[in-house]
Amino acid sequence: MKKIFLLLTILLSVLSAHSQVSRPKLVVGLVVDQMRWDYLYYYHDEYGENGLKRIMREGYRCENTLINYVPTVTAIGHSSVYTGSVPAFTGICGNDFYVDGKSTTSTRDTTVTTVGAPNGKGGQQSPHLLLATTIGDELKIATNFQSKVVGVAIKDRAAILPAGHSADAAYWYDRTNGCFVTSSYYMDQLPQWMERFNKQHPLSAKHNLNPTTEGVTMTLALAEAAIDGEGLGQDDVTDLLAVSISSTDAIGHEYGTRGKENHDVYMQLDRDVARFLSMLDEKVGRGNYLLFLTADHGGMHNPLFLRSHKMPDGGWDSGKTFKELNSQLESKYGGTKLVKAIMDSRIYLDRAQIETKGLDIDAIKADVLKVLIQDSAIQFAVDGDRISEATIPPVLKERILNGYNRERGGDLFVILKSGHLGWRYGDDYRGTSHSAWNNYDAHIPLVFMGWGVSPGCTVKPTFITDIAATICAMLYIQAPNCCIGTPIDMR
């Protein structure tokens, strides 16, 4: 009888062990804002062995990862990485867009208050405009909300959208007060570890931390403080830390993709990543964390740089187009500013005014299209309600459809010619921007490293929407509810 009991005990313990789902202690998402794919190789020989090179050496590299929507901008990129979806479903149509006829940023929420600063509106932010769940939301559900999920960044949208709806916290930099804050959406007051971090890193009010290498170091220091303060990766329940490096984008916008400033910020990123990985090895344990490195979008080379090397360049004077459109429409239809705004190549009409005046919106759209296609900087212009009928290449049709949200995505969309920015620039312009479908904006780095990952590489097409699908498949949890991505086979 004792032998039978012993055998049953052993059998039950074996079955119990096999029934446990194997997961890492911590998932770390590292999104580097405006990091072109080729920065992994352009600066490769100058990187140290323990930072970005280590991720590439030990990780699985997806060398042909593309963004499958337009426009390619920060808020959409961060939401797509963590939802595995596109603006058509997530509702995040840009950094700024219109909701119910009113302009908003992607995370603005006037129903909440700033937590961690005595004044200002820097904390009036939340994920309430995001219409899809994230990796973190699904991880919470899968673990009966025992997992901890935290987002950190300088930009509010880069901390909030990746963390998702059910996050324990998201922290971002409030320039007005010179400190990191959160909102009452998450908590009523900062935890002691966060208050201590702000005291240990004093910054003067209105200090612009974003376009500095200091911003890189500060963000990864905050990520480490969050691991300590929240005990991330310290038990058997998988946690998630979403980290976004915002300074690389600010520096790219101001100084372009070449030159000392861009070089210096990537050298700093490499050094700080090396320290961050070493910290993860020590505090979470090598092999106990799963990390992915990617970007929300790339960036075009400075147009004057392109011109100096006889490559196509140009700029679309959207402000001039805005005035011209409204002038012509007013002359023909009456009314004032029937075109409300032009945002990231999306054109918004004043639908309320058009309806009140009983005007034909299709006729107005047709008139707008006639003006747009005459502009030498514009390659294609389409009606948002007739994208599938447009005579444009299939690759563009798919990306415009993915980026179009009927309620928030504007009425018409413009595709500029390659090498063109969305504004005119002077002869002393050094910076750059992004939002296009072209590879310079849409080709992003993607490397998985750590738990469950063997070194390797693929050049098969993969997409930004595949990231969430892959992470969720590895964790054996449901993919986010609007995910359209496919898990990447890393065997």
Catalytic residues: 74
| Helices (H), ranges, 334-457 | 351-356, 361-372, 394-403, 439-442
Mark out the alpha helices in 115-204 (DSSP H runs): 135-142, 156-163, 192-200
CA distance 97 to 341: 9
Lookup: tokens for 163:
């963390």
225, 201 in Cβ contact below 8 A?
A: no
Distance CA 298, CA 143 (A): 35
Task: List CB contacts of 403: < 8 A, sequence separation 6 or more.
Answer: 69, 70, 71, 76, 86, 87, 88, 93, 409, 413
The alpha carbon dihedral of 431, 435, 437, 441 has a sign of positive
Q: Which two tokens stand for residue 52?
A: 């970005």
Q: Half-sphere exposure of residue 39, counting CA atoms within 13 Å on the CB side?
A: 34
Q: Coil, helix or strand for 21?
A: coil
CB 295 within 8 A of CB 77: yes
Quick one: DSSP state of residue 189?
S
